[in-house]
Amino acid sequence: MSQQQSAAPATATTTVARRRDWWRDAVIYQVYPRSFADSNGDGMGDLEGVRSRLPYLRDLGVDAVWLSPFYASPQADAGYDVADYRAVDPMFGNLLDADALIRDAHGLGLRIIVDLVPNHSSDQHEWFRRALAEGPGSPSRDRYHFRPGKGENGELPPNDWESIFGGPAWTRVPDGEWYLHLFAPEQPDFNWEHPAVGDEFRSILRFWLDMGVDGFRIDVAHGLVKAEGLPDLGGADQLKLLGNDVMPFFDQDGVHEIYRQWRHVLDEYAGERIFVAEAWTPTVERTANYVRPDELHQAFNFQYLSTAWDARELRTVIDRTLEAMRPVGAPATWVLSNHDVTRHATRFANPPGLGTQIRTAGDRELGLRRARAATLVMLALPGSAYVYQGEELGLPDVVDLPDEVRQDPAYFRGAGQDGFRDGCRVPIPWTREGSSYGFGDGGSWLPQPAGWGELSIEAQSGEAGSTLELYRAALHLRRTQADLGAGESVEWLRAADGVLAFRRGEFVCVANTGGESVTTPAYGRVLLASGEITEADGEAKLPADTAVWWTTA
């Protein structure tokens, strides 16, 4: 079967539970395919590798798997530059492999969510190559943003926008016109004002829905529509404004009509398929616009991800999130790490901000202790949660990668968007030993550090107190405790400075974000704790950076 042919669609004869509104309290595990498992020993993870490890994810206790892009791509930005949205890149396998993965996942009770990249294509996409060949004024160019330049001879970009990866957001082609790319030059932005673009993506949605996928994560969901006339920013520091203000190329109101049309497509299919938006917006209130009842189902809560390990700041963003989601009837969606940010086991060792450097073993221990506690807080909150591969192992960022192995385009273009995303993308360890610690038989596309095997699934499985066993226990309790999962609110409890404490029915979560031990009421029977706690005379002593779950039942 060729890459352009569709495998037979998955049928309804799977064991995926048809639980209504499953996505409102789902725990969804992000797989970065190139770094998860390598089945053929070429050093690159692939779909067959993911398929072989699905039982591990079922046993971990997640509800669904989100796959980062595996489409045909020149890989200028790790697959987020798509050349063919209906084909699997040979480095990951083929459509038969995708079909088998979807079927096996369903047979194990797991749902599959795939990444969709609608803001831009690869410069090797058939449409863009045709646009270059046909020249200025051709209809093909209208599917992208081609413009004449400014200056006496058109030698200056059409406006002052910068690429998120650093440098100008415009590249000039030999015939003198310029095209817009908010990311790398190999990623030209689609013009969503052109009807052919909308028609094409509705067709792409149906292609993968017919294959049996359960939903889509929408990359750069906030970026599809640009302000009319592509106005200048007027010399503003664009990178500092990102995520803090409505930009002429981000979070424009026109995106919402696109998603209303997409929702009609999704609703043609049975089984409660979902959309989740990667929408970087200035406020959670604007994020809520993406999850109105006739649009998308979930949106990543980047305000929460960017919050420091601080009780007061966490309470503020939790309250604002729940308040913003309540009027639109959408679940809050919590996340601590993903493939674009520093892992939180490293980030929390260096507050405030998204720092990447761990200087000592003490920093490593501090970051891991905070990450474990933060996980219990996240999984106790009302709504859905996302887990990035390897965080259940407490993996830190790999910060000492040599320049010659780095592949993040932001690293080579002036460190826009941090520029150090490779550090969170190093292939994960499965075993204590081996050339790539069980990732595959042929090494790994990014080098793994010495000692990586001691953090592996093999090393942590069955090990009391390990981070992996903490995640397994927390996810099991989340399924079995009636007051966990979906919901719209928490009841805050009186607590000392630096302590976050809330109740949900008969369940209580308390987290000490401070640097000293604190004494708190013992709220009942301990279900789970991220560290050692002691109880006596109706009180509990929580060490610094520790969280505990109680039940009052």
Q: What's the CA gap between 248 and 337, in Å, rounded?
A: 27
The contacts of residue 75 (CB under 8 Å, 6+ apart) are 81, 89, 91
Please tell me the distance from the alpha carbon of residue 147 to that of residue 151, in angstroms, as a whole number: 13
Please name the residue that has the structure tokens 């000490």.
512
Q: How many residues does the chain have?
A: 553
Burial of 336 (0-12, 13-18, 19+ CB in 10 A): buried
Q: What is the DSSP letter of 50?
A: H
Rounded-to-integer distance, Cα 484 and Cα 304, Å: 19
Out of 155, 228, 268, 400, the active site residue is 268
Name residue, tokens 């506690």. Answer: 373
With beta carbons less than 8 A apart as the criterion, state whether 50 and 29 touch.
no
23 three-class SS: helix
Alpha helix segments (H runs only) across 14-77 = 47-52, 54-60
Classify 102 as helix, strand or coil. helix
* Closest of 352, 248, 266, 337 to residue 300, by C-alpha: 337
What CA–CA distance (Å, rounded) separates 159 from 483?
A: 52
Is 268 marked active-site?
Answer: yes
Bridge partner list, 190: 144
What is the Cα–Cα distance from 444 to 435, expressed in whole angstroms? Answer: 8
CA dist 405 and 424 (Å) reads 14
Q: Which two tokens stand for residue 40?
A: 């053929």
Count of CB atoms situated within 10 Å of the CB of 129 = 14
- Write the DSSP string, 480-500: H-TTSSS-S--EE----TTEE
C-beta separation of 361 from 443 below 8 A: no
- Whole-angstrom Cα distance, residue 251 to residue 278? 11
The secondary element (H helix, E strand) that includes residue 275 is strand 274-277
DSSP symbol at 411: H
Residue 219 known to be catalytic: yes
Which regions of 194-235 does DSSP assign to beta strands (E)?
Answer: 215-218
Angle between helix 195-211 and helix 255-266 axes, rounded to 10 deg: 30
| Residue tagged active-site, from 186, 189, 219, 458 | 219
Active site residues: 219, 268
